[in-house]
Amino acid sequence: MSRIIAAALAAACGAALATPAAAATTKAEVFLASPSGVGGPAGRVMFRDAPGGATVRVDLYGLPPGQHGFHIHQNPSCGPGEVNGAMAPAGAAGGHYDPMGTAMHRGPYGKGHLGDLPFLTIDANGSEHETLVAPRITDVTQLKGHSVVIHAGGDNYADQPQPLGGGGARIACGVIG
Cα–Cα distance for residue pair 156/177, rounded to 1 Å: 28
| 149, 150, 173, 175: which one binds Cu ion (CB under 5 A) | 149
Span of 1-9, 63-71, 75-83, 119-127 interacting with Cu ion by CB under 5 A: 63-71
Determine how many CB atoms are found less than 10 A away from the CB of residue 151. 24
Site for Cu ion contains 72 (CB under 5 A) = no
Least CB distance to Cu ion at residue 51 (A): 27
CA dihedral of 76, 79, 82, 87, whole degrees rounded to 10: 170
Site for Cu ion contains 105 (CB under 5 A) = no
Q: How far is CA 124 from CA 80, 118, 131, 132, 156, in A?
A: 28, 19, 18, 19, 21
CB 72 within 8 A of CB 143: yes
Least CB distance to Cu ion at residue 27 (A): 18
User: What residues numbered 17-46 form the site for Cu ion, per CB under 5 A?
Assistant: none
Least CB distance to Cu ion at residue 12 (A): 48
Beta strand pairing status for 70-73 and 147-151?
Answer: antiparallel
Least CB distance to Cu ion at residue 168 (A): 10
Cα–Cα distance for residue pair 125/167, rounded to 1 Å: 21
CB 165 within 8 A of CB 88: no
Q: 28 or 149: whose CB is closer to Cu ion?
A: 149
Q: Which of 134, 113, 125 is nearest to 57 (CA)?
A: 134
| 27, 71, 105, 113: which one binds Cu ion (CB under 5 A) | 71
Number of residues in contact with Cu ion, rule: CB under 5 A? 2
Q: 12 or 99: whose CB is closer to Cu ion?
A: 99
Span of 7-15, 19-27, 83-91, 143-151 interacting with Cu ion by CB under 5 A: 143-151
Least CB distance to Cu ion at residue 133 (A): 18
Interface ranges with Cu ion (CB under 5 A): 71, 149
